[in-house]
Structure 1
Amino acid sequence: MDSSNVVDMRASVREAVEEGLSYPVQESPLDTVDEDISQEAQNLGSLEESEPAEEPVIEVPSNDTRSFEVEPLIQAPAPTVSDDETLYNRTADETLSSSETSDLELRNYQKELAQPGLEGKNIIVCAPTGSGKTRVALEITKEHLDKADRGRRKVVFLVNQVELMEQQLAVFKKNLTGYRTIGLSGNVDTKVPLSELLPKNDVIVLTAQILLDQLRDNLLKIHDFSLMIYDECHHTKKGHPYNNIMAFYIDQKLDSPVADWHPSAIQERLPQVVGLTASLGVGKANNNETAIEHILKLCANLDTEELSTVVQHENEMLQYVNVPKSDIVPVGERAMDPFKDIITGIMEEIENKIKDLHGQHQLKERSATDLDPPADKGKGPYTQWVHSLKKKIAVIDEQKIRWSCFACWTNLLTYHEALLINEDSRTIDALDYIRSENSKRSTHRNLDIDNWLQQLFQEKEPTISEFAANDTFKNPKLVKLEDMLRKAYEEKPDSRGIVFCKTRALTETLKNWMLETESLKALNPKCLVGTNAAVDKKGMTSSQQVDVLSYFKGGKVKLLIATSVAEEGLDIKQCNLVIRYDYVTNEIAMVQARGRGRAEDSQYVLIAGGRGTAEKEELNVIRESMMKKAICAVKQMSPQEFKDKVRRLQEEVKDERMMRKTAQSGAAAEDEHELQCLKCDVFACLSSDIRVIEKSNHVVVDEEFMTRVEVKPHPNSQRYGNMEKTGKLHCTKCDSAWGIQCLYKRMAFPVLKLESFLLEDKNRDIKMENKWKDVPFKVRKFTSEDWKKIAARQ
């Protein structure tokens, strides 16, 4: 690596070591959603927009009666795999030990972490990746079960991802002898509810949404458990299932008449709470005071009595925790970019066409300044502008004008996204994207405007094709990435590397580029993306993830190209190279990605383009240091001061929650709306005919709805959770895409794509929303009565 192009960050790591909490700070990509929303995070939401909801799959309880065993942690001098961030779906033997198992014997720093939990306190265990947080949790769990009243000892271990349930279940089943352990996740449908499984088991490992559903349906109470363990507990904030579960806990605590919050009745006793994390983060803090406040809020959300970090035995811990060398490699933009110049010119003509429509027809409530786009196309501000433009077009009264404007908007969006692809990939990839999107255009055309839009591109296409084939206009970021990977694998042929990038689409284009590049195709690169993609978007199933990770571990695949899904939980001891491809969000994701480098002499590199990426990363290092100082400040508070601050924050959050609930109950009153086709105004359905299945899949139960759509075969039929997409729904009048058809438990359901519709209320006011959570009406749950009616029809 050219040292002249490298900004060395090792000094910041040494400084962090000297500041008293010398470990790499991690937090999950979910936090990125709260602060710097990445494209990957924006793809998460509902089935038609993101993930299928969870329903439990049952793991058979273990009757293992072997002695209590656990994996030896990282052995000096070479760091190896940690016990709490292992390969998805590994067996218990693989998860716990690479040699032979042994009786649980904590190291001194692990005993320090566990001690307050062994005393029965509510704690957050904050320690670095590879330090053995699950090992600590096991010791606390075993001690708790050994001492708790037999009829009351019920432990729940909560995880944030379906894949992580399997690995943690393997750990607990292997090591908790004499106790019944079961696992539940959202992969497969089951008719056995958690409330019926709990009395027969001592430990349940499950994804958080399952427990939250049971609490909301009043099938379980918080005090049904005696110990709750939250894996990656930094997610316990805002609307995350962890935080919603703890809201039940906090409400019961604050509503207790006993001054010290402990109810006297044994059946009402609140459980002990243990959180596990490698990072508490600093949220949006910009100074030490707000960083401390952020940590206190997290402590309040988890009702924490003590932050458990390593202080006395820090030197011992550092022997077993590997911190990769971190570098930033600045890379400039193309010296000449004729593709961008040509596409920008086409976009300007389309923008002017929209303004002409405004001038000719005086679109009501639309000033010319509203239609002025940012000058720099293919950048963040333009993304915001083009998406806001769609809502402005949606409420135009005159149908013909709206059709014309909408056709222009669709093309603008395609060209804008092509510029984004061109910035990170090859020009040919961007050109292929435009061709692909153009081929999907509706056959029911508004001929004048559509022919004009087609002609704009067709006139320039031959010239763009010539530029795409010219090596003079190669992407410098790809040149640097190729050089970096080639050198790394020449020096260590058995290396394993991970390249993190922004979106699923980019993982595919990078993989295709590598397979077509002679020096890289032998690495056999594979993509690793989330299982919670929309059914009409390309994602991965859990089994596909497992296969890819297995190949990566075994060396058949030497390079993964991943989205943020791999930042948390992936741990391969051979991985010695982690590259973030011009992709920076916050300090949390930085440390998560950095922590994937497990082998000795690992390297973490950021390839930084010319849009402030390097500066953002340097700021993240500062924020990481700020968090460590804030933790020290919180730990220096007296027990009473800490308790008072936590209580105050809990009361404030409860008040806010109650106010929000009151406001939502008023806003969500049954206010009937019509859903109309965005393009042609035709009636689609009433809001009262919409139901939600598995909390994220919005279907229409009106039997007349199918007369208003044409169902076309889906080119990528695939199962996601309990849903299998089988077709695409199109408006019979204008052929606009309305959503997809899915099979759910062998019944066909139309699943709506909200952004394809206008919402008209009883006063004839029209609006448009992109997310179901923002609609101005309440969507009812799919009930057994709905099921009977649909079954009778089909």
Structure 2
Amino acid sequence: MKSPHSLDKNPKFYSHPLLKKDLIEWRDYQVEISKIASNQNTLVVLPTALGKTIVALLTLVNILEKAPKSKIIMLAPTRPLVLQHYDVFQKFLKPEIKCCLFSSNLSPIKRTFALNGNQIFFSTPQIIQNDLKAGLYSLEGIGQIIFDETHKARKKYAYTFVANQYLEQNLHPLILGITASPGKDLFRINELCETLQIEQIIFRDFDSPDVKKYTFGINSIFKKIELPNEILKALLILDTAVHKIRDFMFSHEILPKRNFISKFQFIQLIQDLKLMDTLLDPYTTDEDLERYGLTSNYGRMNFPHLLDMFDKKKNDKIPNKSRILNQAINGIYLEHLKELLTTQDIRMFRNYLQKLEERALEGNKRIKRLLNSKYILGAQNLLNPIKKSPKIPVLLEILKNEFLENPNAKIIIFTQYREMAKFLIKELNDFSTNSCQIRAKRFVGQATKANDKGLNQKDQKSMITDFSTNQFNVLVATSVAEEGLDIPSVNSVVFYESIPSEIRLIQRRGRTGRHQIGKCYFLVQSNSLDEIYSFVSHRREEKMHELLKHPKYINTVPKIKRSDKLPEYKFKKLEHIKENYRKIKENHGVNSVKKIETLISQNSDKKKSSGYELIQDITENLTLESKKRIELSKSNKTKGKEKLFLTKKTFTWLISTMGCIGSIRGTKLYCDLDDLYLAAKEEEMDIIKIEKEIQNGITKKMFEKTNNFLISTPIS
């Protein structure tokens, strides 16, 4: 195949006027895909390691060559992935192609002005969404938007909003979606095609004829591990307790009868029980339902039949909601204990029980009853002789053989939990011998959890560099290493536990087999979730491949009618941008006043006669609570330590702003967090301080947070 910019019969590198010479290796399938994606909305499905980013780059330069006055936006779901794309594109593009990194550190005015002097923009979708909602700029001059990890374009995720705006505003839209898995089933794939108006799906796997010559293959090795008798007996006891809860749910028709109930179904049930308070609240309006992503036909309910069951107008005998809730919570605890026992390690099982015991000592009677039940006590007695998971010796044997075969090998071990990663690091480093030098490090996300500090982006990058340069040879990683980080190819990958997601299976496995034949080990314990999840993830991958190879049931859209005139971004003077931004801020203030007046009118017949009264009541409660805490602080001589409560000024701003841009239901204020942060930015407030104050308020139960909404909670 020939490219207009590569006339050699068998070119070694891809050549293009906008790219640096002799850097991008020629691959037929990448060139072919980029040609198609340069002319229509395309969903590209490639396994990890087949070069999705290069496909995006080749497509992008084709479009910039055709429409040099247009702009390109490259979106990714996380900041580390955005930074990675920015670095990769800078490496391959010629210096005259100007790239710009959008972040919250760049003010709205600077972001808008940056559109004048740059051609390619890298951002998370939330930033673009907020800018569009504020009216800072339009997308009519954008030649293409690239959505990385496209499978996230569902429901209320920002990808959906940005795509809708682009398709509405642009007369010549071009969308490129790149992912390793568009969805687990036909419904998800069709939903994605509808959201992004996909005209063409292109799929390749490692067995595709035009891909084979560039890949080395991956050998999947399943290690079946038998559970000790003590664990099997303890598992049987815990199963008996779970079956008792299942029988209760089935007999009262709370849950539909099925052979397998996981903790996920119990979580869904609890979500429904909480959601019903909103749906059955007589004060809930259609506007409330629409604002919070609900519908009048209760489309968000996992088990819709519960609404009729708990509706006093339709049912005289209302079930005991508290009892159902307690049973569901116990079901989650028991299922989680089973998972830790059979897929992780006995030490994690015992640590989790210890955490539950601490909560019982704090006064939680339900947990205390559960811990004192014959099921938990019986399981604990049986497990006393067990010291560690039977997976550990198998894992050590795998590493020993790998390093005997290749002393310079690099290996990634994926595990679900940080705590398990800690145990593995100790086991591996203690195992090192003269013939098997294991140097292992733990790789986790940025979030800091209880007694477990996360890794910031700088530390993550430094650790990846050390791994690349053989400073250590085993990376024990949580899900943070699955996507969004430029981790080098390794000789082998080990799945410490199985996962049910096909996308995570593809991403983890794709870390090996890039430069030589790779190995992927699966540690599967019998009679555990490992067996179920392993089957589910591999079956979902097979079904997805079947759909993509024979896409007759996939509903791509007909060819979109595009304008003959290619997109062209119109230069905006800085003074015009500033004037527009000033008007936006003024309009926001006017709209806020109107919003309060509307809220007062709408809620005049409710428990609180106005938004102002509600704000005043909550603030007064805060003041009383603050005084109590100040006295307590003085008596305990804790002056100078971290504040135990929000400042009244910040709290009042939060409540008043929530009243302006949110809505009132009953005695609570509801506000979308994205809207709240946007308001803070527009008023030039310290976002980091606002986030800390919100988190502090949640910790002190002044606020609740659910589904990206902040909810005020009057203090008792």
User: Shared topology, TM-score over 0.5?
Assistant: yes
What's the RMSD between the two structures over aligned residues? 5.8
1:424 to 330, 343, 347: 343
CA gap 1:778/1:247 in 2 versus in 1, 3 angstroms: farther
Distance 1:334 1:210 in 2: 52
CA gap 1:439/1:744 in 2 versus in 1, 3 angstroms: farther
**Is contact 2:149-2:179 (8 Å) kept?**
yes
1:489 to 388, 403, 415: 403
Matched, 1:284 2:185: yes
Distance 1:700 1:488 in 2: 63
Alignment of 1:404-483 (within 5 A): 417-436=336-355, 438-439=357-358, 456=372, 468=384, 470=385, 474-483=388-397
Distance 2:74 2:417 in 1: 31
1:136 to 55, 60, 64: 55
CA gap 1:135/1:426 in 2 versus in 1, 3 angstroms: closer
Shift of 1:475: 2.4
Matched, 1:219 2:219: no
CA gap 1:224/1:432 in 2 versus in 1, 3 angstroms: same
Distance 2:360 2:389 in 1: 29
Distance 1:110 1:201 in 2: 26
Which amino acid in structure 2 is aligned with residue 178 of structure 1? E
Q: Which residue of 1 aligns with 2:504?
A: 589
Shift of 1:577: 1.3
Q: Which residue of 2 aligns with 1:555?
A: 470
1:179 to 97, 102, 112: 97
Q: Secondary structure at the match of 2:517?
A: coil
**Is contact 1:297-1:646 (8 Å) kept?**
no
2:545 to 620, 628, 641: 628
2:76 to 159, 165, 168: 159
Distance 2:436 2:267 in 1: 37
**Is contact 2:440-2:476 (8 Å) kept?**
yes
Q: Which residue of 1 aligns with 2:445?
A: 530
1:771 to 690, 706, 709: 706
CA gap 1:686/1:544 in 2 versus in 1, 3 angstroms: farther
Shift of 1:204: 0.9
- The TM-score normalised by the length of structure 2 is 0.62
Distance 2:111 2:232 in 1: 59
Per-residue CA distance 1:312-355 (angstroms, 9 max, x = gap): x954431112331113222232211399479959989x99xxx9
Shift of 1:513: 4.2
Q: Which structure carries more strand by proportion?
A: 1
Q: Which residue of 1 aligns with 2:148?
A: 231
Alignment of 1:511-530 (within 5 A): 511-515=425-429, 517=431, 523-530=438-445
Q: Which residue of 2 aligns with 1:300?
A: 194
Q: Which residue of 2 aligns with 1:749?
A: 693
Per-residue CA distance 1:661-710 (angstroms, 9 max, x = gap): xxxxx9999769999xxxxxxxxx999659xxxxxxxx999852752775
Which amino acid in structure 2 is aligned with residue 595 of structure 1? G
Shift of 1:575: 0.7
Shift of 1:603: 0.8
Q: Percent identity?
A: 19
Shift of 1:501: 2.4
Q: Which residue of 1 aligns with 2:479?
A: 564
1:123 to 42, 51, 56: 42
Distance 2:485 2:174 in 1: 28
CA gap 1:526/1:773 in 2 versus in 1, 3 angstroms: same
Distance 2:428 2:390 in 1: 15
Q: Which residue of 1 aligns with 2:158?
A: 241
Distance 2:103 2:24 in 1: 28
Q: Which residue of 2 aligns with 1:606?
A: 522
Which amino acid in structure 2 is aligned with residue 501 of structure 1? T
Specify which structure has the bigger relative contact order, considering alpha-carbon pairs within 8 angstroms and separated by 6 or more residues.
Answer: 1
Distance 2:261 2:431 in 1: 26
Shift of 1:248: 1.5
Q: Which residue of 1 aligns with 2:86?
A: 169
CA gap 1:121/1:420 in 2 versus in 1, 3 angstroms: closer
CA gap 1:607/1:745 in 2 versus in 1, 3 angstroms: closer
Which amino acid in structure 2 is aligned with residue 525 of structure 1? A
Q: Unpaired runs of 5+ in structure 2?
A: 14-18, 279-320, 562-597, 634-640, 647-685
Q: Which residue of 2 aligns with 1:24?
A: none
Which amino acid in structure 1 is aligned with residue 175 of structure 2? V
Distance 1:299 1:408 in 2: 40
Shift of 1:299: 2.9
Q: Secondary structure at the match of 1:527?
A: strand
Distance 1:122 1:496 in 2: 39
Distance 1:461 1:103 in 2: 64
Per-residue CA distance 1:617-656 (angstroms, 9 max, x = gap): 345444434333433444899xxx9544999xxxxxxxxx
Distance 2:418 2:481 in 1: 12
Matched, 1:113 2:36: no
**Is contact 1:249-1:270 (8 Å) kept?**
no
- The TM-score normalised by the length of structure 1 is 0.57
Matched, 1:578 2:496: no
1:205 to 111, 114, 122: 122
Per-residue CA distance 1:134-160 (angstroms, 9 max, x = gap): 33332332232233253xx21111112
Distance 1:507 1:687 in 2: 51
Which amino acid in structure 1 is aligned with residue 343 of structure 2? D
Q: Unpaired runs of 5+ in structure 1?
A: 1-67, 77-95, 253-267, 356-365, 396-401, 648-665, 676-684, 691-698, 714-724, 731-742, 760-768, 780-794
Q: How many residues align?
A: 564
Q: Secondary structure at the match of 1:124?
A: strand
Distance 1:672 1:559 in 2: 64
CA gap 1:147/1:139 in 2 versus in 1, 3 angstroms: same
